[in-house]
Amino acid sequence: MRRMTLADFQKMKDEGRPIAMVTAYDYASALIAEQAGVPAILVGDSLGMVMQGQDTTLPVRVEDMIYHARMVMRGSRKALVVVDLPFLSYATEQDAVDAARRVMQEGGGQALKLEGGREIAPIVRRLTAMGVPVMGHLGLTPQAQHQIGLRAQAKEVQAARKLLDDARALEEAGAFGIVLEVIPADLAALVSKEVRIPTIGIGAGAGCDGQVQVWHDVLGLFEGKSPRHAHRFAEIGAQMVGALSHYVKQVEEGSFPTKAQSVSMAPDILAALTAE
Ligand code: KIV
């Protein structure tokens, strides 16, 4: 089967079919997402935290996005792959074109995601005119966390009006979709009705046209609490720890490896060696 296109993505909204998107950051995760039938993958700059162990997404560089996008593209065949442009890489239109050129030519991926509303509309318009599909990102935009914090956004009337206006501006500028992160569910549902393009929610309720979740959250890879907007569909981290502890124990007690994992040698060759 061929890779999902922007037209297929739009068709899912038009036909009322919810879109499941998940982040992936390497070959193995992309392969697994593909096997699970995930229609859209985000190579998110959340990789700064979950793959690099940083406190925020801010240190992530264009080079990091290229490195991870390449691996994801090798593992995925059918999903639509969207790649984040990292912090400050699209400060001007020219910066955005330069970053887009590098991420798309060197990393692959079919589309880019940028955080921001009306203020980045000229950049979205320019990239779209150059043939670069752009996904917007509104609400809790982690690249602006030092300004807005990591809390729910657009809860007051003025901020909610602004978010609606931002969504319209992104659509007018040519964005093919918008991520809505941690905003009230009723507002997300309103935006989803207001714009024709698909909205993809994370902590934005069931009224969005699709959902996106972070790989490590949804699979329960890290011990402890996941963000409120995440649901742990499995506890893979605990399973991994269990499997590795078992491995350590068997090596230490000498029960691994067994003959099954070893290569044998003909007895006459061994005899000749030991006779020397
Ligand atoms: O970087 C990321 O993973 C994201 C999602 C949380 C939407 O932007």
171 is catalytic: no
pLDDT digits 0-9 by tens, 29-49: 999 999 999 999 999 999 999
Residue 224's pLDDT is: 79
N- to C-terminal Cα separation, the chain: 61
Q: Whose CA is nearest to atom 5 of ligand 1?
A: 44
The residues, any chain, with a CB within 8 Å of residue 30's CB and separated by 6 or more, are 24, 41, 71, 72, 73, 74, 75, 76, 79
Closest approach atom of ligand 1 to CA 23: 3
pLDDT at 87: 98
List the structure tokens of 231.
Answer: 């649901």
Residues with CB under 6 A from ligand 1: 23, 42, 44-46, 84, 179, 181, 202, 212, 214
Cβ–Cβ under 8 Å, residues 63 and 86: no
Domains in the chain with CATH codes: 6-234 (3.20.20.60), 239-275 (no CATH)
One digit per residue, the tens of pLDDT, for the chain of length 276 reads: 799 999 999 999 999 999 999 999 999 999 999 999 999 999 999 999 999 999 999 999 999 999 999 999 999 999 999 999 999 999 999 999 999 999 999 999 999 999 999 999 999 999 999 999 999 999 999 999 999 999 999 999 999 999 999 999 999 999 999 999 999 999 999 999 999 999 999 999 999 999 999 999 999 999 877 888 999 999 999 999 999 999 999 999 999 999 999 999 999 999 999 997
In the prediction, which pLDDT does 180 show? 98
Dist. CA 36 → ligand 1 center (Å): 20
Per-residue model confidence as pLDDT tens digits over 131-165: 999 999 999 999 999 999 999 999 999 999 999 99
Cβ-contact 97, 88 below 8 angstroms:
no
Q: Cα of 46 to ligand 1 centre, how many Å? A: 6
Residue ID of nearest Cα to ligand 1 atom 8: 44
Could you tell me what percent of the chain has a pLDDT over 90? 97
Nearest CA to ligand 1 atom 2: 44
- Check the annotation: does 252 bind a ligand: no
Going by C-alpha positions, the residue among 160, 202, 198, 194 that lies closest to residue 177 is: 198
The residue from 181, 194, 235, 253 that is catalytic is 181
Atom 6, ligand 1: residue with shortest CA distance: 214
Average pLDDT, the chain: 97
Q: What does residue 146 show for φ and ψ, rounded to 5 degrees?
A: -75, -20
